[in-house]
């Protein structure tokens, strides 16, 4: 109880102090208040993860009560389009799960023939990254961990190095497309970046970062890999694993695969379709999951309510909604324009330097904070740089790469890390220690962010 009171005291004291400092620094009362409330919500996620929605609700109410923002603008800034996109995707993923799509993927991993430790490492890393690109990092990591646990159980080896490798690859993969992470769609909607932009600008860097990560992991975990190789030789081929599970090829699986394939196809073509149909940027991108989930709920009408009630994570989405509204309030009050002006003066109006600063700041920030929280905080600041004559595109990429790659540094750096380690602890009673993760996490986080830095500073300006 004492610990909770102390944490609460620190949370309030820090938020209040930052607000007062901001006021002294040149912010007006509304700007300082909006900053204090936003910091309160951010610290709420850090100190009281289970109470984050409570802090978000109370903070948003305070902003309305004090006339810091009005209802109309609060709704405008809550990014309903992002929330609806995520609702659509969650329904679709619920349907894919019900159809056996993910179990089918697990069975494919289990069916790997002529297994060697290196082949296993490369396969799980590539599949983790690509699956994160296609669905999202949290959904992807659950199925990857399931497959890894089964394989490690069979060969009687410690699954920890392989689970950690899969998580590292998942976080890197989540930067490859708009679908990989909620921050992808958030950045896309705020910046006007399209799926094609992600494929041409983010995906290749993701692949290079993944290759480098695999090399680092191969070196870092050479002993567990040798152990696995020894066990594979000792226990022979994975005959039981090959036949372990099957997914009946029923109509629902085929329909699930069809709808998912079409969804990915339309999402990848959204920019072209928007031009042809004369629609505003990203309209099709946001609509496709809604159309797909609408069709799913029409076909499976008896289960429609269950998809919405069980598969949509309302707790998380409501938190995002409140958080976006609060970060929007920083923009509404003009606080972020003040930050943008001050930061721009500090970096001497140098875009490359500013990009580097933002990249590293978001990298280290997301190693402690949830990356959605971090990106939501930075978006209005980045938007504020537009009026100062900066080209925003490299800044958006810096935010994306920093927030995704930085998630690898600590074991609380991203939701995928927490979910995977939770499964490992629950199923195998293995608890990964902070420093145990930090060794490999820090190396991978820094090396991949350095790659992104090189890409944004040297290669991107020439593209």
Partner 1 sequence: MKIKEIMCREVKSLSPEMSVKEAWELLSQMEISGLPVIDKEGKLLGMFTEKDILKKIFPGYLDKVGRFVYEENPKGIKKKVSEFEKLKVKELMRLEVITVDEDTALCEVARIMLTQKVRRIPVLNKEKKVVGIIARQDVLRGLLGDFR
Under the rule (CB under 8 A), what is the footprint of partner 1? 96-104, 106-107, 142-143, 145-146, 149-150, 153-154, 240, 243-248, 423, 426-427
Query: Considering only CA atoms, which of 91, 76, 312, 340 is closest in space to residue 189?
Result: 76
Closest CB to partner 1 among 205 and 253?
Answer: 253
Residue showing tokens 């990356």: 371
CB 359 within 8 A of CB 398: yes
Of 77, 79, 106, 95, nearest in space to 289 by CA: 95
CA distance 325 to 85: 17
User: Least separation, in Å, of the C-beta of 321 and partner 1?
Assistant: 25
State the nearest-atom distance from the C-beta of 99 to partner 1, in Å: 7
At its nearest, how many Å lie between partner 1 and the CB of residue 333? 42
Q: Which is nearer to partner 1, 330 or 423 (CB)?
A: 423
Provide, rounded to whole angstroms, the least separation between the CB of residue 149 and partner 1.
7
d(CA 182, CA 415): 11
- Residue 368, judged by CB atoms within 10 A of its CB (0-12, 13-18, 19+), counts as middle
Strand, coil or helix: 432: coil
Q: In the complex, what is the shortest distance from the CB of residue 2 to partner 1, in angstroms, rounded to a whole number?
A: 25
Identity of the residue, 150 or 370, whose beta carbon is nearer to partner 1 in the bound complex = 150
Residue number with CB closer to partner 1 (146 or 186): 146
Least distance from partner 1 to the Cβ atom of residue 239, Å: 9
Q: Which residue has the tokens 């399931």?
A: 146
CA distances from 72 to 95, 329, 376 (A): 35, 12, 19
Q: How many C-alpha atoms does 406 have within 13 Å on its Cβ side? A: 24
Instruction: Find the shortest distance in angstroms from Cβ 420 to partner 1.
Output: 11
Considering beta carbons, is residue 242 or 458 the nearer one to partner 1?
242
Name the residue among 95, 108, 93 with its Cα closest to residue 146: 108
Euclidean distance between CA atoms 31 and 22, whole angstroms: 8
Shorter beta-carbon distance to partner 1: residue 107 or 367: 107
| C-alpha–C-alpha distance, residues 59 and 100, integer Å | 41
Cβ at position 49, least distance to partner 1 in Å: 20
CB-nearer residue toward partner 1: 305 or 310: 310
Q: Residues near 289 by Cβ (< 8 Å), separated by ≥ 6?
A: 85, 87, 88, 89, 91, 92, 263, 267
Cβ proximity to partner 1, 196 vs 427, nearer residue: 427
């Amino acid at each position: 109880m004492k610990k909770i009171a102390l944490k609460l005291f620190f949370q309030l004291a820090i938020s209040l102090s930052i607000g007062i400092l901001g006021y002294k620094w040149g912010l007006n009362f509304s700007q300082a208040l909006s900053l204090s409330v936003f910091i309160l919500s951010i610290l709420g996620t850090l100190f009281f993860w289970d109470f984050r929605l409570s802090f978000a609700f109370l903070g948003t109410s305070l902003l309305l009560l004090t006339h810091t923002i009005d209802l109309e603008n609060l709704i405008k800034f809550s990014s309903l389009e992002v929330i609806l996109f995520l609702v659509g995707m969650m329904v679709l993923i619920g349907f894919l799960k019900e159809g056996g799509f993910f179990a089918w993927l697990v069975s494919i991993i289990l069916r790997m023939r002529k297994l060697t430790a290196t082949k296993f490492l490369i396969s799980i890393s590539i599949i983790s990254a690509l699956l994160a690109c296609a669905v999202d990092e949290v959904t992807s990591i659950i199925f990857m961990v399931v497959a890894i646990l089964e394989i490690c159980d069979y060969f009687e080896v410690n699954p920890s190095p392989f689970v950690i490798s899969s998580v590292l690859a998942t976080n890197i993969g989540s930067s490859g497309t708009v679908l990989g992470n909620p921050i992808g769609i958030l950045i896309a909607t705020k910046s006007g970046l399209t799926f094609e932009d992600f494929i041409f600008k983010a995906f290749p860097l993701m692949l290079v970062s993944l290759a480098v990560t695999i090399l680092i992991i191969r070196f870092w975990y050479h002993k567990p890999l040798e152990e696995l190789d020894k066990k594979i030789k000792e226990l022979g081929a994975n005959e039981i694993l090959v036949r372990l599970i099957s997914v009946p090829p029923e109509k629902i699986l085929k329909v699930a695969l069809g709808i998912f394939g079409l969804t990915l196809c339309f999402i990848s073509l959204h920019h072209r379709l928007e031009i042809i149909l004369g629609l505003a940027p990203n309209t099709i991108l946001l609509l496709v999951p809604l159309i797909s989930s609408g069709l799913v709920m029409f076909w499976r009408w008896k289960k429609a309510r269950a998809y919405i009630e069980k598969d949509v994570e309302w707790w998380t989405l409501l938190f995002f909604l409140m958080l976006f509204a609060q970060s929007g309030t920083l923009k509404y009050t003009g606080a972020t324009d003040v930050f943008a002006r001050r930061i721009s003066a500090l970096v001497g109006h140098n875009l490359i330097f500013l990009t580097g600063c933002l990249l590293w700041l978001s990298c280290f920030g997301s190693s402690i904070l949830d990356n959605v929280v971090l990106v939501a905080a930075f978006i209005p600041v980045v938007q504020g740089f537009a009026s100062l004559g900066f080209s925003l595109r490299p800044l958006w990429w810096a935010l994306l790469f920093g927030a995704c790659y930085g998630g690898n540094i600590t074991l609380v750096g991203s939701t995928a890390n927490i979910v995977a380690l939770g499964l490992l602890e629950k199923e195998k009673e293995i608890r990964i220690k902070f420093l145990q993760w930090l060794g490999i996490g820090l190396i991978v986080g820094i090396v991949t962010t350095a790659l992104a830095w090189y890409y944004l500073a040297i290669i991107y300006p020439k593209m």
